[in-house]
Amino acid sequence: MLRFFSQRKGLTKVVLWCFIGVLVLGLGIVFALPDGRTMLRSLGPISSSTVVANVNGYKVTVADLRNQVMMYASSQQSDSGGRPQEVNTLYPQFGKQALDALVNQRLVERECDRLGIDVSTKELQDRITSMFRGPNGVWIGTPAYQARLRSIGLSVDGFEKSMANDIRQEKLQNLMTAGLAVSDSEIEDDYRRSNTTMKPTYALVTPKVDAIAAATPEELRAFFDADREKFRITVPQRKITYVFVSQDALGKTMQISDDELRPDYDPKKFTAAVRVSQIVFKIAKPDLEASVRTKAEEIANRARGTGEQGAEDFAELAKGNSEDPATAANGGDAGWIEKASVPAGDPRERLFQVEAGQTTAPIKVGNTFVVFKVSERRERSFEEVREELMPSARARKSYGKGVEVAQQVETKLRASKDPVAVAAEINGTLGAAADAPAVIVKETPFAQPGDAIPDIGSNPQFEAEIADLQNVGDVGSPVGITGGFAVPLLAEKRDPHVPEFEEVQDRVATEYKKERARQIARQTAESLTTATSPDDLRAKAKAAGFEAKTQETYKAGNSLPEMSASDLLDSALLSLAANSVSKSVIEMPNGFVVLAMSERTEADMGDAFTQQKEQIRQRLLGTRRGQLFNDAMMALRKQLEEAKKIDIYQDTIDSAFDIGAEMDLDALDLDEGVPSLPPVGAPQGAPGGGAPIPMPSQPMPAQPRPSQPRPAPAPSAPAGSPGK
């Protein structure tokens, strides 16, 4: 072959250029396709440095995402101690918010780089040593610092990168919000709002859905036609045919031998009767109960023997102490107590668990304390209880058989796609009667995630299994449902759409009742606004079937019973004078509120206000700065998203976290970034001391707390920081 090409140099060039052309064309097609780059990425191995997101050139890696997930988990699990779960098991809970925070962090880094904002070594060292202090208030020392991070699964390097970006973000926020100010009138309004004490009366009128009569078909159709879009089905629906393996019916096809049943037979569990002797102590008056119990316990201890004292003769103790003459004369012998004669809940039920020859502690029976001694027991034989043992044995055995049969159903159904034929074949193999089949074919209506399915109900496992069925005829794995197992097959799929009335008739009926109940509740609440005083509001609410309540002490920011805190409620209450009723109804999630003011005490605008004025100014300024910064960064993110400059590689993320159990955890650089000594002069503390590790926070979209802006971690720490 080589000689062939060497003798035909012109042909060699043609072949070579054809090969290069095909290669270039193939690469061009790959990169031109929407999923081309994704395909190429998926061909390479996943490592800690693999990129999972690109924010205008600022990359997020697998290691970044894993470390951020661990940070979120650690901040919630700091009280549990020890290393949190493996990161792959935490990703479903924390992954989305962790990735979102990392994208925001890269936006912050981009802006800091653009504006030349950086962090010095000393700034980072000072921040970390101030955070990690022991009970004595001094720096805990480098070894303890490293150990505390690793104990909760955090990379030292990753944590310090996050802290560096916290500081950068604080600087960026200060730069962007330097011109903001808070006026004196705003400070006064805030103080008055927080320090005015009120005594409100309120009536909450809740919709009574159960009181609404069923609508006629004509009313329901009119309600539906008035707003069809309200009933739009927004997600794909699936109709599932499933083969149901009935555990109960399967059990009836199974024979249980005596040898299989005998291990379940415990004679103690099948006591038929006990013969007892008793010593009775009567409680003459309720206030004597404690002393009677003490006396009964003393006699019980003598009958059982305590310490070096041997047990005394029970019959003699009964003759000398029992207050039941009929049995005392016979040494306490009370004869046989049949278990069937003791009602459920009777304190004497515990006697059937007592061994022959044992004496009980005092048992309260009616208005007496009784010390019992069981002298004989009579158990029911295996033959007598055989049928009682059968159901649990069948259930246990049929479960294992049910798993086996369900797996057979899955195999046959994947091959034939014919549920009816599969059910008939397996019923024949099992010998199930025609009128009591063990394997049955059922079908669901069209359903979407969250719907309760007839005969199945709300079953997350079944819902998750059918969610993976994409094409008609796809077969899922067996799922445990009430009474047995289901093997699903996708029979039909329907895309989102505006439904016809018949498809959603039940939903329309439910929504109609809810809407009608809210209309009536609103009308009732509006009628209460005619009240002239808090007392009048109470009277009118009672006449309407509701209760008006009074909150003795209330300040803005608090919440009224049955309702959550609400700025809307606070503003309405602050506008009410004493002994007045609001003429407006406030709509809340759980009903409609009518407010009245019984009393109010205005805020003291003297020395107390003067002392807090500057603190209030800083709090309001911090809130305003945080809001402005968040709004600006969210606008920047939206701008970059619209310009297609933020890429999330979800396929890579899925692969990284699916194979995480096989990845070398050392690839996460957990041992990089060993910190240097703290700044000169920082005191050293004992290892292991200090408060829980403060976690770097995230910007956007959450609102920052007043005077405590929320910084976001950065991907890298400045050279020479702790850890370098």
Residue 704: the pLDDT is 34
Query: Which tens digit of pLDDT belongs to each residue from 482-495?
Result: 889 999 999 999 98
Query: Which tens digit of pLDDT belongs to each residue from 202-252?
Result: 999 999 999 999 999 999 999 999 999 999 988 889 999 999 999 888 877
Rounded-to-integer distance, Cα 588 and Cα 205, Å: 10
Query: pLDDT confidence of 152, banded at 50, 70, 90?
Result: confident
Mean pLDDT of 431-456: 89
Q: In 253-322, which residue ranges form alpha helices assigned H by DSSP? A: 258-261, 289-304, 314-321
For 457, the 3-state DSSP assignment is: strand
The residue among 220 and 665 whose pLDDT is bigger is 220
Whether residue 496 has a cis bond before it, omega within 30° of 0: no
Q: Which residues pair with 480 in a beta bridge?
A: 485
Distant-in-sequence, close-in-space partners of 466: CB < 8 Å, separation ≥ 6: 238, 240, 476, 488, 490
Q: Is 594 in contact with 581 (CB distance < 8 Å)?
A: yes
> Which token pair is 575?
């506008």
Query: Which tens digit of pLDDT belongs to each residue from 276-331?
Result: 999 999 998 999 999 999 999 999 999 888 777 788 999 999 999 999 998 998 89
Q: In 116-202, which residue ranges form alpha helices assigned H by DSSP? A: 121-131, 142-151, 156-176, 184-195
Residue 13: the pLDDT is 54
Q: Alpha-carbon Rg of the chain, whole angstroms?
A: 38
**Residues 86, 90, 91, 94: is their CA dihedral positive or negative?**
negative
Q: How many CB atoms lie within 10 A of CB 18?
A: 10
> Which token pair is 497?
């759409």
Rounded-to-integer distance, Cα 426 and Cα 429, Å: 5
Residue 19: the pLDDT is 52
Amino acid at 348: R
Query: Which tens digit of pLDDT belongs to each residue from 212-224?
Result: 999 999 999 999 9
Query: pLDDT confidence of 651, banded at 50, 70, 90?
Result: confident
What's the whole-number average pLDDT of the chain?
A: 82
Amino acid at 101: A
Q: In 44-86, which residue ranges form alpha helices assigned H by DSSP? A: 62-77
Residue 156: the pLDDT is 87
Burial of 233 (0-12, 13-18, 19+ CB in 10 A): middle
**Residue 696 scores a pLDDT above 70:** no
Query: Which tens digit of pLDDT belongs to each residue from 391-435?
Result: 777 777 778 888 899 999 999 999 999 999 999 999 999 888 888
**Residue 688 scores a pLDDT above 90:** no
Residue 349 has what DSSP assignment?
G
Residue 287 has what DSSP assignment?
G
Residue 341 has what DSSP assignment?
G
What pTM was estimated for this model as a whole? 0.52
Residue 21: the pLDDT is 56
Residue 271: the pLDDT is 81
> Which token pair is 82?
């020890």
Q: Is 91 in contact with 657 (CB distance < 8 Å)?
A: yes
**Residue 350 scores a pLDDT above 70:** yes
**Residue 717 scores a pLDDT above 50:** no
Query: pLDDT confidence of 643, banded at 50, 70, 90?
Result: very high
Rounded-to-integer distance, Cα 467 and Cα 55, Å: 32
Which residue, 505, 518, 249, is CA-closest to 395?
Answer: 249
Rounded-to-integer distance, Cα 586 and Cα 564, Å: 13
Strand 58-61 to strand 484-494: parallel, antiparallel, or no bridges (unpaired)? unpaired
Distant-in-sequence, close-in-space partners of 5: CB < 8 Å, separation ≥ 6: 11, 12, 15
Mean pLDDT of 503-508: 90
Q: Comparing 87-101, 201-215, 632-646, 656-670, which segment has the lowest mean pLDDT?
A: 656-670
% of the chain exceeding 90 in pLDDT: 51
Burial of 500 (0-12, 13-18, 19+ CB in 10 A): exposed
For 78, the 3-state DSSP assignment is: coil
Q: Which residues pair with 597 in a beta bridge?
A: 200, 580
Distance of CA 158 to the CA centre of its chain: 28
Residue 40: the pLDDT is 43
Nearest 10 degrees: Cα torsion 627, 632, 636, 642: 70
